[in-house]
Structure 1
Amino acid sequence: MSSEPAPASASTEELEADLSAATISKKQLKKDARKAEKAGKASQRQQQQQPQAEEADLFAANYGDVPVEEIQSKAISGRSWTDIGDLDEAAAGRSVLIRGSAQTLRPVSKKMAFVVLRQSMSTVQCVLVASADAGVSTQMVRFATSLSKESIVDVEGVVTLPKEPLKATTQQVEIQVRKVYCINRAIPTLPINLEDAARSEAEFEKAEQNGEKLVRVLQDTRLNYRAIDLRTPANQAIFRIQCHVENKFREFLFSENFIGIHSPKLIGGSSEGGASVFKLEYNGQPACLAQSPQLYKQMSICGGFGRVFEVGPVFRAEKSNTHRHLCEFIGLDAEMEIKEHYFEVCDIIDGLFVAIFKHLNENCQKELETINRQYPFEPLKVKHYSLLSCVCYMYAFA
């Protein structure tokens, strides 16, 4: 009798094990079923999205980063480029190809974005709208807005007229983008923000009154990152004004029978007495940088040239270390023989300054206004009163 209960106990344990296994199997089956259901839904979503991705790939050639080797003078494409500054209402409806720096990137939605390109002093607004007819995909819109500021970008598109005047750009047209390529990506964070570098003193004062604090770009920072600082509208305009002054200086003196010369800048001794010079050694001999072309201008007059001028660098090692003293600058020099009276020189100087100021007022209004926004100044006003007449008047009533 002692051996009979054992089989009953074994039978009970086997039954419990079978029930437990059945329970685990049901749970596992449910878990596997849920996994399979999730995998099926994921596969279904992927299949639904795949046609869209394949459709977007049709426009992949319309945007992207251009490899360096593709822009290294491999071939001449013959494409016609348009300057941003030439885009006006007359260009409406025309397809154009432009290149500029990405100044502003403004996404509106997944299917729309605005990109402002800058070339020199001119800016234009480019519009990207996802559309199969335009060959623009949502990926293309996302690519454009992912560009970093100051990246160099090529844009192909159609010029259109905006419904309302544009306040943020110089050109009063828009470009409906069809293709956009990044030629050179700028680093994401630049050492200088152009908006900060282009602010006027009046803007800082207004912000201070309102309790706001604006970033001020100091001179040392500007010089350390000069290549970026030169992109500000005021600096662009200043260099253009400088070029116009130099060209008008030459043009006027040419009209007065002056001859342009180029004098040495590395000389054996000082060219003017009483002024400090930059001294150096050249092949064991003392030398210095020219303080002035004065001696060579006088030599030219004695040599029979009659009237000469020069545009060139001048070096002054002055001890006055202030922001108003320059150790190097570009000099506009002129020399002429006098027939009877020094009033002859006065007339030339009078006509020269009148010609330069008149030229700037007539041909450089855009540049003057740009400079005036950051560095306010009084308008250029000049009347052609002959210096000879003024001096004679002074002598008559002395």
Structure 2
Amino acid sequence: MNRTLIKGLNSKIGETVKLQGWVHRLRKLGKIAFLILREHSGLVQCVVNTREVDIKGLRLESVVEITGTVVKNDENVEILAENIRLISEVKEELPFEINKKDIEVNLDTILNHRVLSLRHQSLNSIFKIQACLTQGFIEFLKVEGFTQIFTPKIVSEGAEGGTELFELKYFEKKAYLAQSPQFYKQMMVGAGYERVFETAHVYRAEKHNTNRHLNEYVSLDLEMGFIEDEKDIMMLETRLLKSMLHKLKNECADELNTLEAKLPEIGEEIPSIPLPEAIKILNNKYGKELDIDIDPEGEKLIYEHVKKEYGSEFVFLTHYPMEKRPMYTMPADGGLTHSFDLIFRGLEITTGGQRIHNFDMLKKSIESKGLNSEKFSDYLEVFKYGMPPHGGLAIGLERLTAQLIGLGNVREAALFPRDRDRITP
């Protein structure tokens, strides 16, 4: 007899089936026991006559095989168990309870036992939502004519200017873990693909230890050619996010309900504020003194302002100063740039903008950052032979997931987080 998944039981009323999974809950009432079986497609109650089926020694989280008849019970189905076979026993007490609504231990304990923690329905739901978001990103961009690419994560130079790099020994040479696929995205636009994207890990060796930073995270990157300016990228991201949220609503309703997550609404346009104007708003309205950039508290305050004034949980902040942007960023008037960040519920989840496509301008910009342009010759080569106006963005997947669900720490949205202190499991 082949294994039947719990999600397919409604079509098998009256039939004998074989189920396999974990013992999620077990309650004994005299000669009858109620066993909740869990596997990746759901939960089902199994009714056990203990006079006929032995359950002695069966512990929570044991892996079992149950054979029984599917019956209808009001709006649900359940299994009248005829046989239970222990496949894999539990050797020790669990470090925390899996079958409660909330997992009542601190985050370090959860992450120290990450694989076990994912058996909890709420934590398990986080990464089903994350997978759906990523798939939505891919599906939308393929329809829009983008080609998926896969770029190296071992590189000879950094792509983000001032950001610290993880150095590694590469045989007899010095190399680094990639901060971003930025150079390769641009090169592939110039190679004639015009529109490309990648979903992959990136690495930042910044020595922070906050609830919003990781040293390894998943970046949803895209780059597209033949744009007018950064507004084309912002409009694309608006449609992209709408599509991703629509997919999430349709395909992850159970997971969203489990986490009591409320999805945001996106109108025709996401509000946009130039950074210098945002700084003035923060100064005048909240008494927050800022100079040329915005800090985490400022992101939260400008979100509060936009939510109140425009009813939006998203806001684009545009025209960051050149000194705060990488060397490939297209300059604008007044020392500013054609760049943007997207703030969602008070946290930056996207950085993007228009890139420099002129060879001489790009070479000069690299050198203005105190870098040796000769070290970027492979990157620069394509710009000598005709490069279209282009731009792109990068979305931090863990940050997006955390903000959508309402998690307090981005590590909760990382399957196996890597930060300053954690490199296991």
TM-score, length-scaled by structure 1: 0.65
The corresponding residue for 2:39 is: 119
Q: Decide whether aligned partners of structure 1 residues 219 and 389 sit closer, same or farther in structure 2, where only a CA change above 3 A counts.
A: closer
Larger radius of gyration: 1
- 1:193 paired with 2:67, answer no
Decide which of 219, 222, 236 is 2:124's aligned counterpart: 236
Write the distance in 2 (CA, Å) between the matches of 1:343 and 1:234: 38
Check the 8 A contact 2:5/2:41 in 1, yes or no: no
Select the structure that is richer in strand.
Answer: 2
Write the distance in 1 (CA, Å) between the matches of 2:42 and 2:195: 40
The corresponding residue for 1:385 is: 268
Decide which of 182, 192, 198 is 2:86's aligned counterpart: 182
Deviation for aligned residue 1:97: 0.9
Write the distance in 2 (CA, Å) between the matches of 1:370 and 1:327: 29
Give the letter aligned to residue 157 of structure 1.
G
Q: Decide whether aligned partners of structure 1 residues 355 and 390 sit closer, same or farther in structure 2, where only a CA change above 3 A counts.
A: farther
The corresponding residue for 1:332 is: 220
Decide which of 212, 228, 234 is 1:346's aligned counterpart: 234
Decide which of 3, 11, 14 is 1:93's aligned counterpart: 14
The corresponding residue for 1:158 is: 69
- 1:102 paired with 2:23, answer yes
Q: Decide whether aligned partners of structure 1 residues 339 and 217 sit closer, same or farther in structure 2, where only a CA change above 3 A counts.
A: closer
Write the distance in 1 (CA, Å) between the matches of 2:98 and 2:122: 11
Q: Decide whether aligned partners of structure 1 residues 359 and 272 sit closer, same or farther in structure 2, where only a CA change above 3 A counts.
A: same
Give the letter aligned to residue 48 of structure 2.
L
Check the 8 A contact 1:279/1:288 in 2, yes or no: yes
Check the 8 A contact 1:194/1:232 in 2, yes or no: yes
Write the distance in 1 (CA, Å) between the matches of 2:273 and 2:249: 24
Deviation for aligned residue 1:188: 4.7
Q: How many residues align?
A: 274
Write the distance in 1 (CA, Å) between the matches of 2:23 and 2:99: 13
Give the letter aligned to residue 25 of structure 2.
T
Deviation for aligned residue 1:121: 5.8
Deviation for aligned residue 1:362: 2.0
User: RMSD of the alignment, in Å?
Assistant: 2.2
Check the 8 A contact 2:25/2:99 in 1, yes or no: no
Give the letter aligned to residue 195 of structure 2.
R
Write the distance in 2 (CA, Å) between the matches of 1:331 and 1:389: 23
Decide which of 147, 161, 169 is 1:259's aligned counterpart: 147
Decide which of 119, 128, 145 is 2:48's aligned counterpart: 128
Check the 8 A contact 2:6/2:41 in 1, yes or no: no
Paired residues for 1:63-102 under 5 Å: 79-88=1-10, 90-102=11-23
Q: Deviations over 1:220-252 (max 9, x none)?
A: 221222221010111221111111111110110
Write the distance in 2 (CA, Å) between the matches of 1:264 and 1:235: 31
The corresponding residue for 1:63 is: none
The corresponding residue for 2:106 is: 218
Q: What secondary structure is seen at the aligned counterpart in 2 of 1:161?
A: strand
Gaps (5+ residues) in structure 2? 275-425
Q: What secondary structure is seen at the aligned counterpart in 1 of 2:193?
A: coil
Deviation for aligned residue 1:310: 0.4
Q: Deviations over 1:180-235 (max 9, x none)?
A: 10100112522222145x417xxxxxxxxxxxxxxx31222212222210101112
Q: Deviations over 1:50-80 (max 9, x none)?
A: xxxxxxxxxxxxxxxxxxxxxxxxxxxxx22
Q: Percent identity?
A: 35
The corresponding residue for 2:196 is: 308
Q: Decide whether aligned partners of structure 1 residues 390 and 256 sit closer, same or farther in structure 2, where only a CA change above 3 A counts.
A: farther
Q: Decide whether aligned partners of structure 1 residues 220 and 346 sit closer, same or farther in structure 2, where only a CA change above 3 A counts.
A: closer
The corresponding residue for 2:257 is: 369
Check the 8 A contact 1:149/1:188 in 2, yes or no: no
Check the 8 A contact 1:100/1:119 in 2, yes or no: yes
Give the letter aligned to residue 44 of structure 2.
V
Write the distance in 2 (CA, Å) between the matches of 1:220 and 1:390: 38
The corresponding residue for 2:77 is: 173
Check the 8 A contact 1:270/1:288 in 2, yes or no: yes
Select the structure that is richer in helix.
Answer: 1
Write the distance in 2 (CA, Å) between the matches of 1:245 and 1:352: 11
Deviation for aligned residue 1:282: 1.5
Give the letter aligned to residue 259 of structure 1.
T
Deviation for aligned residue 1:160: 1.1
Write the distance in 2 (CA, Å) between the matches of 1:284 and 1:326: 29
Give the letter aligned to residue 189 of structure 1.
E
The corresponding residue for 1:5 is: none
Give the letter aligned to residue 114 of structure 2.
R
Check the 8 A contact 1:346/1:388 in 2, yes or no: no
Check the 8 A contact 1:338/1:344 in 2, yes or no: no
Give the letter aligned to residue 106 of structure 1.
R
Write the distance in 2 (CA, Å) between the matches of 1:180 and 1:302: 61
Q: Deviations over 1:370-397 (max 9, x none)?
A: 122xxxx4x2132440469999xxxxxx
Larger RCO (CA under 8 A, 6+ residues apart): 2
Give the letter aligned to residue 119 of structure 1.
E
Q: Deviations over 1:143-178 (max 9, x none)?
A: 32421110001011101122x66xxxxxx2110111
Q: What secondary structure is seen at the aligned counterpart in 2 of 1:313?
A: strand
Q: What secondary structure is seen at the aligned counterpart in 1 of 2:161?
A: coil
Q: Decide whether aligned partners of structure 1 residues 230 and 297 sit closer, same or farther in structure 2, where only a CA change above 3 A counts.
A: same
TM-score, length-scaled by structure 2: 0.61
Write the distance in 1 (CA, Å) between the matches of 2:172 and 2:237: 42
